[in-house]
Chain A
Amino acid sequence: MTSREKRTSGERTTDVLSELVAHLRHNRTILREEWVRRITESRLLTTMTKEEIFAEATSVFDNYVEVLETGSVEALQAYARNLSERIIPRGVDTPEVLGIVLLLRDVLARSLFEKYQGDFALLNRVLDAYEPAANRIATTVAVGFVQERERVIRQQQEAIRELSTPVLQVRERLLILPIIGVVDSERARQLTEQLLRGVRSNRAKVVVMDITGVPSVDATVANHLVQTVEASRLLGATVIVTGLSPEIAQTLVTIGVDLTKMNTVGDLQGGIEEAELLLGYKVMRLTESAASEASN
């Protein structure tokens, strides 16, 4: 292909594109309505109201046409990110977003078929111009959505990690470590590290580890718990494990985890009482102590 031919073909593509854009602008209302109808028909975006879908559809449509016209996806990228931020909290899934973008692509393509059905060569050229741009738009929106989702997921994981393992001092030299939720290797490691640091900085002698909130325990998790207990002992702290449910007790005995090193007490209250005993505390009601003082 010579450079002149290339230029003419390039010019032709631009011509075709601007004609295409003009066509889409001209039929904006009909195409939008058709698109929204198809979205509702396919039962996509069920968590949003019809008005919302229409409003979003209008913005997406306008952005879509703009990308076709300018060839720059930056504005669309920003819009896709913004849209994702708004709709992810409402439970919109990736397939839904992909679905609506592909539907719009389909709606527009059909309208082009209809318009140029008489002139097959022109239709071909229009599609040559339309297809790459449409693919790019679909990719941009889908990638934007997935990236936003991943960002949200990362943020939440971080939040869960920070929330999940508080080490609390309830009395001088007595810590409690309430564990809630599923314990995997990564979390068990973090938990142990945090506990050891807590033992050191609070100069703890006794730690009550409450696993009431742990739904299930397998061999791996049990070994992690044993490791936590042993590591604490190396720092001179005794660990009391409380809140083992009947199911967990059965599992542990059935899978044969060696728990002889574990000091277990039924519930958190019992554990704290046991810990106080180890530390030499005696807790009594004010009236009782007054009575015992009076008798002395």
Chain B
Amino acid sequence: MLVPILKQGDYLIASIQSSLADADLIRLRDQLVEQVGRYRSRGVIVDVTVLDVMDSFAVRTLSTLAQMIMLRGAETVIVGVQPDVAFAMVQLGLTLDNVKTALDLEEGLLYLNSRAKRGRSGAG
């Protein structure tokens, strides 16, 4: 299952459409890490709204994805985690500690925009 990656201004949006196999996740990660440099993006949003299961592999992949994106000079936001999924994740100890999360795509974009504004005003 291919995950479409949309370029939206300074950001890349990966909108997961159905449940993913491990290989698909790895491919998504590699593509994002590659494209974030190519498009000189400042933020990456991964929308997981449709996922009703997040296993340890998925969480670890998202976590490493965020670290890699950070090393490439951008920030990652995971959006749309379902309440039940969130509850199951913390019970398994999978808390995505070093990754920013937001309620949905709108919130994720708002967060990245506010970061951009702060960064600009800080620089200026």
Q: Does B21 contact A (CB under 8 A)?
A: no
* Separation of A203 and B108 alpha carbons in the complex (Å): 13
24 residue pairs of the A-B complex, CB under 8 angstroms, read A189-B87, A193-B87, A199-B103, A200-B82, A203-B103, A205-B107, A231-B86, A231-B89, A232-B86, A233-B95, A234-B78, A234-B86, A234-B89, A234-B95, A234-B96, A234-B101, A235-B81, A235-B86, A235-B101, A235-B103, A236-B101, A236-B103, A236-B107, A237-B103
Contacts across chains A and B counted by CB atoms under 8 Å: 52
Q: Does A267 contact B (CB under 8 A)?
A: no
Q: Does A227 contact B (CB under 8 A)?
A: yes
Q: Does A161 contact B (CB under 8 A)?
A: no
- Give how many B residues have a beta carbon under 8 Å from the other chain's beta carbons: 19
In the complex, the answer to whether B90 meets A235 with C-beta atoms within 8 Å is no
Q: Does B121 contact A (CB under 8 A)?
A: no
Query: Which A residue sits closest to B82, measured CB to CB?
Result: A200
Give the chain A neighbours of B96 by CB distance below 8 A: 234
Q: Does B119 contact A (CB under 8 A)?
A: no
Q: Does A192 contact B (CB under 8 A)?
A: yes
Q: Does B20 contact A (CB under 8 A)?
A: no
Which B positions have Cβ atoms within 8 angstroms of A?
78-79, 81-87, 89-91, 95-96, 101-103, 107-108
The answer to whether A236 and B102 touch (CB under 8 A), given A227-B91, A230-B90, is yes
Pick the 6 closest A-B CB pairs, nearest first: A196-B83, A236-B102, A234-B86, A231-B86, A236-B103, A227-B90
Give the chain B neighbours of A200 by CB distance below 8 A: 82-83, 103
Query: Which A residue sits closest to B89, measured CB to CB?
Result: A234
* Separation of A79 and B84 alpha carbons in the complex (Å): 47
In the complex, the answer to whether A235 meets B91 with C-beta atoms within 8 Å is no
Q: Does A197 contact B (CB under 8 A)?
A: yes
Taking the nearest CB of chain B, how far is it from the CB of A127, in angstroms? 61
In the complex, the answer to whether B87 meets A236 with C-beta atoms within 8 Å is no
In the complex, the answer to whether A231 meets B87 with C-beta atoms within 8 Å is yes
In the complex, the answer to whether B90 meets A234 with C-beta atoms within 8 Å is yes
